[in-house]
């Protein structure tokens, strides 16, 4: 909730700025809108609250933005037929607190001096509120509460003489995490922040370029993966081809390690690594670090499955699907209220009793955030007759909030930020609990010596508090500044 009043906040009701998202763009393909819909469908795990596509047909821009899943809107052929044109950008979104309103649904679009400009953003700007306050003081009128609109406003106000230069000018003003896909009447543009915090890949289908958050969005349409967009790189795609611009001084990339733990789809390749293999390795490493005697390894589905396979393999304990997931319920976090979230866990999972009854169970999940899932699942195992329940987590304790686009709660709601291991174990009602160590996490990703304390290869701020950028708006008198939302 907003604790630091500002010009902006006084006028709005509380919400959070954080968004987790997936982006997609395609240039020059006759089936642009249908391919964008498929790409977004593959990225649905990155946001289930809303979806949008904007296309350009050589004369006009067309937009459709709706709350709900991609399949709720973009399987309707009438909608896709209205989205004419050979270029498209798309976006899937969720923000987990407060209501979602249609005007925040991306891609955002504006008619700028140089023509139409559509933008889809994955990430979160850490200075959006300061910039917004400045812009509002200068007379800017914001239509949404999304940090992405700040980019749009800055592009509109830049004094440079063409849209691309204005966009680049804007990138020098914003801080934090951004993987952007932009469409103008001539170009498709991809941009990744100087640290490459959120992913963005380049692909090709039938000779036409594609930009997407993850490789699984290329796979679904049979597109070839070309390469990742590099940290700090801008890719400009026109009818003439592709140009790469690197306006920032070179820096070592710090992609977000949480993509490997939870966020990215296991069949995606991120930073040259198979997300699935990484997760299995987290489980193997976890077994090395906290082995025990047990009868069965049970994953918390679906997110804990790869780590549980690795754990079972390394500990030579049989792996069983001791919890069955109902696939017709969304991800736990998507429910905006804690009470509903807790209920979501019950709706989602059920014990496979015969596999659990009378057994010493090792439960494996990818992460613990508030502990809601763990409490329910441990209780479920006990009710199903488990004699012992041991919790093993395929990542280190999450002690710090994320400000770069993955929705994690404020520090006081993070279980590991406020409790030691014994308290956590008591809280979730397990016989024991163990997390993967931070060095183990890096080892599992191929870094033999663990985490390099001086030059870590990833941003792992959720576990270490080592934030890779300034947090201009986030730490203000120790309050977390959050933008609010008009009802
Ligand atoms: P919690 O129940 O609050 O401890 O959350 C942990 C569960 O949520 C785990 O099963 C994770 O797979 C999943 N999870 C972890 N991080 C996130 C996130 N940022 N958004 C949604 N779900 C998450």
The tens digit of pLDDT for each residue in 286-299 reads: 999 999 999 999 99
Q: What is the pLDDT of residues 412-458, one digit of tens each?
A: 999 999 999 999 999 999 999 999 999 999 999 999 999 999 999 99
Token output for 425: 């174990």
Ligand 1 atom closest to residue 407's alpha carbon, by position in its atom list: 19
Q: State whether 243 and 291 are in the same domain.
A: no
Ligand 1 atom closest to residue 334's alpha carbon, by position in its atom list: 21
Assigned domain for 475 exists:
no
Helix, strand, coil fractions of the chain, as percent rounded to 5: 30, 25, 45
Q: State whether 176 and 63 are in the same domain.
A: yes
Of 206, 230, 254, the residue that ends a domain is 254
Assigned domain for 355 exists:
yes
C-alpha torsion sign, points 402, 408, 410, 413: negative
Rounded to the nearest 5 degrees, what angle is found at the Cα of 96, between the Cα atoms of 95 and 98? 95
Q: State whether 325 and 456 are in the same domain.
A: yes
Q: State whether 104 and 232 are in the same domain.
A: yes
Q: Whose CA is nearest to atom 9 of ligand 1?
A: 367
Give 332 Cα–ligand 1 centroid separation in angstroms: 7
- State residue 345's pLDDT score: 56
State the Cα–Cα distance between residues 455 and 339, nearest whole angstrom.
Answer: 41
Give 258 Cα–ligand 1 centroid separation in angstroms: 11
φ, ψ at 78 (rounded to 5°): -65, -40
Determine the residue of 308, 329, 332, 398 to mutate for testing ligand 1's pocket, defined as the one with the most ligand atoms within 8 A of the Cβ atom: 332
Within 6 A (CB) of ligand 1 lie 262, 300, 303, 331-333, 365-374, 406-408
pLDDT tier for residue 480 given thresholds of 50, 70 and 90:
very low
Give 447 Cα–ligand 1 centroid separation in angstroms: 25
Number of domains in the chain: 2
Ligand 1 atom closest to residue 345's alpha carbon, by position in its atom list: 2
- State residue 343's pLDDT score: 58
CB atoms near residue 137 (< 10 Å): 9
Q: State whether 58 and 93 are in the same domain.
A: yes
Q: Whose CA is nearest to atom 20 of ligand 1?
A: 333
Q: State whether 222 and 339 are in the same domain.
A: no
Across 347-354, average pLDDT: 91
Q: What is the pLDDT of residues 227-237, one digit of tens each?
A: 999 999 999 99
Ligand 1 atom closest to residue 373's alpha carbon, by position in its atom list: 2
- State residue 481's pLDDT score: 43
pLDDT tier for residue 15 given thresholds of 50, 70 and 90:
very low
Assigned domain for 93 exists:
yes
Q: At what angle do helices 372-383 and 421-428 cross, to 10 degrees?
A: 50
Determine the residue of 373, 405, 430 to mutate for testing ligand 1's pocket, defined as the one with the most ligand atoms within 8 A of the Cβ atom: 373
Q: State whether 210 and 279 are in the same domain.
A: no
Residues acting as catalytic residues: 21
Give 209 Cα–ligand 1 centroid separation in angstroms: 34
pLDDT at 332 over 70: no
CB atoms near residue 269 (< 10 Å): 20
Q: Whose CA is nearest to atom 21 of ligand 1?
A: 333
pLDDT at 96 over 50: no
Q: State whether 375 and 452 are in the same domain.
A: yes
Q: Whose CA is nearest to atom 11 of ligand 1?
A: 367
DSSP structure string for 361-388: EEEEES--SSSHHHHHHHHHHHHTT-SE
Q: What is the pLDDT of residues 151-208, one digit of tens each?
A: 999 999 999 999 999 999 999 999 999 999 999 999 999 999 999 999 999 999 999 9
- State residue 408's pLDDT score: 76
Determine the residue of 262, 301, 346, 375 to mutate for testing ligand 1's pocket, defined as the one with the most ligand atoms within 8 A of the Cβ atom: 262
- State residue 341's pLDDT score: 58
Q: Whose CA is nearest to atom 3 of ligand 1?
A: 370
- State residue 184's pLDDT score: 98
Assigned domain for 14 exists:
no
Q: State whether 225 and 297 are in the same domain.
A: no
Determine the residue of 367, 406, 429 to mutate for testing ligand 1's pocket, defined as the one with the most ligand atoms within 8 A of the Cβ atom: 367
User: What's the maximum distance between 2 C-alpha atoms anywhere in the chain?
Assistant: 73
Give 262 Cα–ligand 1 centroid separation in angstroms: 8
Q: State whether 314 and 205 are in the same domain.
A: no
Of 220, 254, 288, the residue that ends a domain is 254
Give 5 Cα–ligand 1 centroid separation in angstroms: 30
Across 93-120, average pLDDT: 83
Give 336 Cα–ligand 1 centroid separation in angstroms: 13
pLDDT tier for residue 361 given thresholds of 50, 70 and 90:
very high
Ligand 1 atom closest to residue 333's alpha carbon, by position in its atom list: 21
pLDDT tier for residue 475 given thresholds of 50, 70 and 90:
low
Indicate which CATH number applies to the domain containing 132: 3.60.20.10
Indicate which CATH number applies to the domain containing 348: 3.40.50.2020
Across 472-487, average pLDDT: 47
Token output for 351: 């014990």
Across 201-218, average pLDDT: 98
Assigned domain for 483 exists:
no
Q: Give the residue among 132, 134, 127 at the shortest CA–CA distance from 143.
A: 132
- State residue 339's pLDDT score: 62
Helices (H), 191-274: 216-219, 258
pLDDT at 255 over 60: yes
CB atoms near residue 304 (< 10 Å): 27
- State residue 326's pLDDT score: 87
Residue span of the structural domain in which 157 resides: 21-254
Collect all residues with Cβ–Cβ distance below 8 Å to 170 and sequence separation of at least 6.
Answer: 151, 154, 155, 158
Q: Whose CA is nearest to atom 15 of ligand 1?
A: 367
Q: What is the pLDDT of residues 56-81, one digit of tens each?
A: 999 999 999 999 999 999 999 999 99
Q: State whether 141 and 229 are in the same domain.
A: yes
Assigned domain for 15 exists:
no
- State residue 27's pLDDT score: 98
Share of residues in the chain with pLDDT > 90 (%): 82
Q: Whose CA is nearest to atom 12 of ligand 1?
A: 303
C-alpha torsion sign, points 157, 160, 166, 172: negative
Q: Whose CA is nearest to atom 13 of ligand 1?
A: 367
Assigned domain for 314 exists:
yes
- State residue 19's pLDDT score: 54
pLDDT at 483 over 50: no
pLDDT at 50 over 70: yes
Ligand 1 atom closest to residue 366's alpha carbon, by position in its atom list: 12
- State residue 226's pLDDT score: 98
Strands (E), 337-471: 349-351, 360-365, 388-393, 432-435
pLDDT at 14 over 70: no
Q: Answer yes or no: are the C-beta atoms of 50 and 65 closer than 8 Å.
A: yes
pLDDT at 324 over 90: yes
CB atoms near residue 201 (< 10 Å): 25
Rounded to the nearest 5 degrees, what angle is found at the Cα of 61, between the Cα atoms of 58 and 66? 145
State the Cα–Cα distance between residues 415 and 424, nearest whole angstrom.
Answer: 7
Q: State whether 231 and 304 are in the same domain.
A: no
Q: 350 - beta bridge partners?
A: 324
Assigned domain for 6 exists:
no
């Amino acid at each position: 909730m907003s604790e630091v009043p500002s010009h902006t906040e006084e006028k709005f009701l509380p919400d959070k700025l954080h968004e987790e998202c997936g982006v997609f763009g395609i240039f020059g393909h006759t089936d642009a809108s249908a391919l964008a819909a498929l790409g977004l469908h593959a990225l649905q795990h990155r946001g289930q609250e809303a979806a949008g596509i904007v296309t350009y047909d050589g004369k006009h821009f067309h937009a459709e933005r709706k709350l709900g899943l991609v399949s709720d809107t973009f399987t309707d052929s009438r909608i896709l037929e209205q989205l004419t044109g050979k270029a498209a950008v798309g976006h899937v979104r969720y923000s987990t607190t407060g209501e979602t309103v249609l005007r925040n649904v991306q891609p955002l679009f504006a008619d700028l001096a140089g023509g139409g400009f559509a933008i889809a953003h994955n990430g979160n700007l850490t200075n959006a509120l300061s910039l917004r306050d400045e812009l509002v003081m200068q007379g800017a009128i914001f239509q949404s509460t999304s940090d992405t609109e700040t980019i749009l406003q800055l592009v509109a106000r830049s004094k440079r003489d063409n849209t691309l230069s204005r966009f680049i000018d804007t990138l020098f003003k914003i801080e934090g995490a951004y993987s952007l896909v932009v469409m103008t009447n001539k170009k498709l543009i991809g941009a990744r922040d100087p640290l490459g915090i959120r992913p963005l890949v380049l692909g090709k289908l039938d000779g036409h370029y594609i930009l997407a958050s993850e490789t699984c969005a290329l796979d679904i349409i049979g597109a070839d993966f070309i390469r990742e967009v590099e940290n700090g790189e801008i890719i400009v795609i026109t009818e003439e081809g592709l140009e790469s611009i690197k306006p920032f001084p070179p820096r070592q990339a710090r992609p977000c390690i949480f993509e490997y733990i939870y966020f990215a789809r296991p069949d995606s390749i991120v930073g040259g690594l198979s997300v699935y293999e990484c997760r299995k390795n987290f489980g193997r490493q976890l077994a090395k670090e906290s082995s025990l005697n047990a009868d069965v390894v049970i994953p918390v589905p679906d997110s804990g499955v790869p780590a549980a396979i690795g754990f079972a393999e390394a500990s030579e304990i049989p792996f069983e699907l001791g919890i069955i997931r109902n696939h017709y319920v969304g991800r736990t976090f998507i429910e905006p209220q804690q009470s509903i979230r807790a209920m979501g866990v019950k709706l989602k999972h059920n014990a496979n009793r015969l596999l659990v009854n009378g057994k010493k169970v090792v439960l494996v999940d990818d992460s613990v955030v508030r502990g809601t899932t763990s409490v329910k699942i441990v209780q479920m195992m006990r009710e199903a007759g488990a004699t012992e329940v041991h919790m093993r987590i395929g990542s280190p304790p999450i002690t710090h909030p994320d400000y770069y686009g993955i929705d994690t709660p404020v520090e006081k709601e993070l279980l590991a930020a406020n409790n030691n291991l014994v308290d956590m174990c008591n809280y979730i009602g397990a016989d024991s609990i163990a997390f993967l160590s931070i060095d183990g996490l890096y080892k599992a990703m191929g870094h033999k010596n663990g985490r390099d304390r001086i030059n870590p290869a990833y941003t792992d701020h959720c576990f270490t508090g080592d934030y890779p950028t300034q947090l201009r708006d986030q730490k203000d008198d120790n309050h977390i500044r959050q933008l609010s939302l008009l009802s």
